[in-house]
């Protein structure tokens, strides 16, 4: 009964607190020619990790329902244009803008109305249809987030120096530019700073692959005294019963290697090295939502396959990749398939409009997030992306003041 009451209370109080949050949607227009790499966006995500620590006390968490603040960075295409939106609470607006301007001084940031209300609320209906899902990870095991995705660093290694950097976002910009009137694609990346305990879990996965055995925690003084007392009692009892001294206790030492590193294949060594590299950077608890919305008369699954294919560029088949989450994907089979599909579509639409983040996500570090969301680099030709055409500069230092 107490468990039911506790869960019901947390469900109520957290949603009450969430409804009090004051959100703002910002659109970023990047400079026309971004000569920098996604490394700049990685530094932005590193700066946003400073929002960690919203919940300072258990009283705030369990009585007030306070949750860790989170952000939503969104890639949106409609009417053949690509847009970069950042959704944050108003109290964190200065933090977000400062991080953007620190890496992209020529960018323009402005508050805009929320684009999610530009389509009917009752989709699907006779005039409108949609396909969408939440993305899940494919890696096995109890902690799949330990395995990294393919990032822009890997793509730069492939390009070498004699070829231009292969920007993973270029394909998505091309898909957006071909959207017709009445078609929209939303890709929402929700993330909140994750406490540093996840690195220890990731390294334990690497140790398991290496064949290292988990070290037992050190014995407490109380446990040591209790063990010594029982051993002494057993020795006395053994001597009284048998008339012989108790045998010495010798721990069996198995002739096993401390590590299997010498027996690993090159691929297994690469996996362990990649896990350790991922754990070396700050991480965020994240989830990714995707939806394609269109008028029914022009709806085509080709506009689903293309952006999903772009997302799959981050797939590293030996380690980790994304897949549509079976619980949220908007398709159903067999019994009442049409009604169940419509229900899942409406649930997904509500989730994407509210940007709710109740469930536990997966860990993406700042390098992985920068791969998924960054401004197009100089080699990406996207004529329908709104850019800042004129470079902005500060006022002359000798400008007369009144």
Three-state secondary structure of the chain = CHHHHHHHHHHHHHHHHHHCCCEEEEEEECECCCCCCCHHHHHHHHHHHHHCCCCCCHHHHHCCCCCCCCEEEEEEEECCEEEEEEEEEHHHHHHHHHHHHHHCCCCEEEECCCHHHHCCCCCCCCCEEEEEEEEEECCCCCCHHHCCCCCHHHHHHHHCCCCCCCCCCHHHHHHHHCCCCCEEEEEEEEEEECCCHHHHHHHHHHHHHHCCCCCCCCCCHHHHHHHHHHHHHHHHHHHHHHCCCCCCCCCCCCCCCCCCHHHCCHHHHHHHHHHHHHCCCCEEEEEEEEEEEEEHHHCCCHHHHHHHHHHHHHCECCCECEEECCCCCCCCCCCCHHHHHHHHHHHHHHHHHHCCCCCCCEEEEHHHHHHHCCCCCCCCCCCCCCCECCCCCCCCCCCCCC
Give the whole-angstrom CA distance, residue 42 versus residue 149.
15
How big is the chain by its Cα radius of gyration, in Å?
A: 27
- The model's pTM is 0.83
Give the whole-angstrom CA distance, residue 81 versus residue 238.
85
Give the whole-angstrom CA distance, residue 15 versus residue 103.
35
pLDDT at 192 (0 to 100): 94
Burial zone of 17 (CB within 10 Å; 0-12 exposed, 13-18 middle, 19+ buried): middle
pLDDT at 159 (0 to 100): 42
Q: Is the separation of the CB atoms in 92 and 23 below 8 Å?
A: no
Give the whole-angstrom CA distance, residue 356 versus residue 19.
10
Give the number of other Cβ atoms within 10 Å of residue 172's Cβ.
25
pLDDT at 48 (0 to 100): 95
* Cα-to-chain-centroid distance, residue 157: 23
pLDDT at 67 (0 to 100): 85
Q: Which residues pair with 288 in a beta bridge?
A: 135, 189
> Going residue by residue through the chain (402 aa), what tens digit of pLDDT does each one get?
788 888 898 888 888 888 888 999 999 998 876 666 788 999 999 999 988 877 767 888 888 888 889 999 999 999 889 999 999 999 999 999 999 999 999 899 999 999 999 999 889 999 999 999 999 999 988 899 999 999 988 877 544 445 555 677 888 888 999 999 999 999 999 999 999 889 999 999 998 888 776 666 676 777 777 878 777 777 777 777 787 777 776 666 565 555 666 778 888 889 999 999 999 999 999 999 999 999 999 999 989 988 888 888 889 888 999 999 999 999 988 888 899 999 999 999 999 999 999 888 999 999 999 999 998 876 555 545 555 555 555 545 555 555
Give the whole-angstrom CA distance, residue 193 versus residue 219.
34
């Amino acid at each position: 009964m107490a468990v039911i009451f506790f869960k019901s209370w947390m469900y109520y109080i957290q949603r009450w607190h969430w409804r009090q949050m004051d959100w703002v949607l910002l659109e970023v227009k990047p400079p026309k020619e971004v000569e920098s790499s996604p490394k700049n966006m990685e530094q932005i995500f590193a700066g946003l990790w400073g929002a960690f620590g919203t919940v300072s006390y258990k009283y705030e968490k369990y009585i007030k329902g306070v949750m860790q603040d989170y952000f939503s960075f969104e890639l949106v295409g409609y009417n053949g244009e690509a847009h970069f939106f950042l959704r944050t609470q108003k109290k964190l607006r200065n933090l977000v803008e400062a991080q953007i301007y620190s890496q992209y001084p020529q960018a323009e940031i402005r508050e805009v109305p929320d684009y999610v209300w530009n389509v009917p609320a009752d989709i699907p209906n006779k005039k409108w249809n949609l396909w969408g899902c939440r993305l899940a990870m494919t890696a096995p095991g109890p902690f799949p987030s330990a395995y990294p995705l393919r990032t822009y660093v890997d793509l730069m290694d492939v390009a070498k120096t004699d070829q231009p950097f292969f920007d993973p976002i270029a394909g998505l910009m091309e898909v957006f530019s071909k959207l017709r009137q009445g078609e929209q694609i939303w890709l929402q990346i929700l993330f909140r700073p994750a406490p540093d305990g996840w690195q220890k879990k990731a390294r334990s996965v690497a140790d398991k692959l290496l064949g290292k055995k988990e070290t037992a925690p050190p014995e407490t003084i109380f446990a040591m005294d209790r063990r010594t007392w029982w051993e002494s009692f057993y020795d006395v009892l053994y001597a009284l019963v048998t008339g012989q001294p108790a045998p010495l206790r010798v721990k069996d030492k198995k002739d096993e290697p401390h590590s299997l590193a010498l027996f690993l294949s090159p691929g297994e060594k690469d996996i362990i090295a990649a896990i350790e590299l991922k754990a070396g950077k700050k991480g965020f608890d994240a989830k990714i939502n995707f939806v394609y919305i269109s008028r029914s008369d022009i709806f085509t699954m080709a506009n689903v396959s293309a952006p999903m294919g772009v997302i799959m560029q981050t797939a590293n088949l030996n380690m980790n990749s994304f897949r549509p989450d079976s619980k949220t994907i908007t398709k159903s089979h067999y019994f009442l398939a049409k009604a169940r599909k419509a229900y899942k579509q409406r649930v997904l639409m509500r989730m994407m409009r509210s940007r709710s983040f109740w469930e536990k996500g997966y860990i993406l570090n700042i390098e992985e997030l920068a791969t998924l969301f960054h401004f197009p680099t100089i080699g990406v030709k996207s004529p329908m992306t709104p850019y800042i055409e004129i470079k902005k500069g500060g006022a002359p230092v000798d400008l007369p003041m009144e």
